[in-house]
Amino acid sequence: MEAAVRKVLPKDEQIVAAMVGVYFSLYVVGKGVSKLTASPPPPPAPTPPVVATASAGTGAASKFGFEPPTFENFTEWGENAENWKAWEAFMSGPKFDLWADGKL
């Protein structure tokens, strides 16, 4: 048997590479067979629908004391003088310090 193998693969490195190839092929065939014979996973359980709750705003008004502007509403927000008053009160008050320290 060894003489027949040495006739085709004369170097030791070639025999080692062939054995690694044989082992890898056996691994791939074993994985393929196990995937073919495995039963399909059960379908996921249905999740209950999410019920939306009504809220007065985004919740940011209670955190900062005013509704902060966004890119979409900055123009309208800036035209309201009350928003600027609330902004200035926040910036000069103790809530700003809490926010800057990460406590708010």
For residue range 35-63, what is the model confidence (pLDDT) as tens digits? 888 888 888 888 877 665 544 445 455 57
With a cut of 60, say whether residue 14 has pLDDT above it.
yes
Gap between the Cα atoms of 102 and 33, Å rounded: 56
pLDDT value of residue 57: 47
pLDDT value of residue 25: 97
Mean pLDDT of the chain: 83
Burial of 76 (0-12, 13-18, 19+ CB in 10 A): exposed
Gap between the Cα atoms of 37 and 96, Å rounded: 63
pLDDT value of residue 10: 92
